[in-house]
């Protein structure tokens, strides 16, 4: 997919990408639950971060200066915001330091490390920018903040409201998801609107799920393919924020509503909210990845994951890629990696066709 004549990728302002979609927070904010106010505060904070992120210029990894530090050491720092919104807060743990005894701080430290190790050991990628960017995380952000996000330079975690959401450091796939937004920021820079925005979200779900699978030593067939399992507290009728295996089935709750994700193009949602439904329509490429990974079998990061990574890091992928553009690119990448008539390439093509996306070999 790489060509010496490939034009430089169009630069676009990076977007604010929280793990909890705005449509879910809006339902919670309008509910009769006593934590509705926490959801409203979260939406307000997210809007502020969204505006701040829109003013940050994109710098792709091809334009970064060569690293000045050699080696492949992790470099983590964890900060405590003490229920304020003044990032980064006070440092409570540095790389190699002892556990703090604070579950949020120690989970964030471990999750950053798990994601760093995954990208380094599986794809030889040195941190999210490929150049050894130190990983920072802030915990205890805001009061009952119902989200976690990557702000372009660090991770930020809320504690949840204690009724619907628990602490956001509790799910390693959430940390993998958000740090993968950093990887996308430095590579494909997929425009955060419409189908390219849904692909941006889907890529983070795919790699977030693989971080969890890698940590657990699971084959694709053994994984739960849930994103954010454990974030919902027992009062919620739901198992996770999203299901890659069965989009639209992750939750069905009287206060939060029903999971709106479609599993195929026949259910594609045209909307002006959520940047054109980026957290909704991501269910379609999510399921394509699940289908490809399980059809190929074995470790997902060695099959479908390797193909998706090849496409994400290719300079020929348009920043405004559609599902069909991205799907076709994965077929070509699978053919390049495994062979034109290989079982793996056929599985990738079949996965996209099953979700109603037309691809070409």
Per-residue pLDDT tens digits for 184-200: 999 999 999 999 999 99
Counted residue by residue, the chain has a size of: 361
17-69+76-186: which CATH number, 2.60.40.1180, 3.30.1280.10, 3.10.170.10, 3.30.70.20?
A: 3.10.170.10
Active-site pick, 177, 279, 332, 335? 279
Question: Residue 360's pLDDT is what?
Answer: 87
Number of H helices, E strands in the chain: 10, 10
Tens digit of each residue's pLDDT (9 = 90 or more) over 114-132: 999 999 999 999 999 999 9
Is 360 a known active-site residue? no
User: Whole-structure pTM over 0.95, yes or no?
Assistant: no
CATH topology of domain 194-354: Neutral Protease; domain 2 (1.10.390)
Is residue 100 within 8 Å of 148, Cβ to Cβ?
no
Average pLDDT of the chain is 91
pLDDT of residue 71: 53
Looking at the chain, which residues constitute the CATH 1.10.390.10 domain(s)?
Answer: 194-354
Mean predicted confidence (pLDDT) in 235-250: 97
Rg from Cα positions in the chain:
19
pLDDT at 70 over 80: no
Give me the sign of the Cα torsion angle 31, 35, 40, 42. negative
Question: Catalytic: which of 49, 107, 140, 178?
Answer: 178
Average the pLDDT over 198-219 and give the result: 98
Q: If pLDDT is split at 50, 70 and 90, which confidence band does 50 have?
A: confident
Helix (H) or strand (E) holding 17: strand 17-18
pLDDT tens-digit map of 298-349 = 999 999 999 999 999 999 999 999 999 999 999 999 999 999 999 999 999 9
Helix ranges (H only) for 89-192 are: 103-123, 172-186
Which part of the chain has CATH 3.10.170.10?
A: 17-69+76-186
Active-site residue, 49 included: no
Q: 32: closest CA among 164, 202, 178, 211?
A: 164
Task: Identify the pLDDT of residue 361.
Answer: 78
Q: What's residue 62's pLDDT?
A: 42
């Amino acid at each position: 997919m790489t060509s010496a004549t490939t034009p430089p990728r169009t630069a676009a302002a990076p977007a604010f990408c929280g793990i909890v979609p705005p449509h879910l927070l809006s339902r919670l904010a309008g509910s009769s639950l006593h934590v509705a106010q926490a959801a409203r505060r979260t939406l307000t904070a997210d809007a502020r971060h969204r505006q701040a992120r829109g003013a940050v210029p994109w710098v792709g990894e091809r334009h970064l200066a060569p690293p000045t530090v050699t080696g492949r050491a992790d470099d983590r720092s964890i900060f405590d915001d003490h229920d304020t919104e003044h990032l980064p807060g006070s440092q409570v743990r540095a790389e190699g330091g002892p556990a703090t005894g604070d579950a949020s701080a120690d989970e964030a430290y471990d999750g950053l490390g798990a994601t760093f190790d995954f990208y380094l050991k599986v794809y030889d990628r040195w941190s999210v920018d490929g150049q050894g960017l130190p990983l920072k995380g802030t915990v205890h952000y805001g009061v009952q903040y119902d989200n976690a996000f990557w702000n372009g330079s660090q991770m930020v975690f809320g504690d949840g409201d204690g009724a619907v959401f628990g602490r956001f450091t509790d799910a390693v796939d959430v940390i993998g998801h958000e740090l993968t937004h950093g990887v996308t920021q430095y590579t494909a820079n997929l425009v955060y609107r419409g189908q390219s925005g849904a692909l941006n979200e889907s890529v983070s779900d795919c790699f977030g799920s693989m971080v969890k699978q890698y940590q657990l030593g699971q084959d694709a067939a053994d994984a739960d393919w849930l994103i954010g399992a454990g974030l919902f507290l027992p009062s919620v009728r739901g198992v996770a924020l999203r299901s890659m295996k069965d989009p639209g089935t992750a939750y069905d709750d009287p206060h939060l509503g029903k999971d709106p994700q479609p599993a195929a193009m026949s259910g594609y949602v045209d909307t002006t909210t959520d940047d054109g439904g980026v957290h909704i329509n991501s269910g379609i490429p999510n399921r394509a990845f699940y289908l490809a990974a399980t059809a190929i079998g074995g470790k997902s990061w060695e099959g479908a994951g390797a193909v998706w990574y090849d496409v994400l890091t290719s300079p020929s992928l348009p920043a405004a890629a559609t599902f069909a553009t991205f799907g076709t690119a994965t077929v070509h990448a699978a053919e390049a990696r495994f062979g034109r008539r290989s079982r793996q390439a056929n599985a990738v093509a079949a996965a996209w066709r099953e979700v109603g996306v037309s691809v070409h070999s």
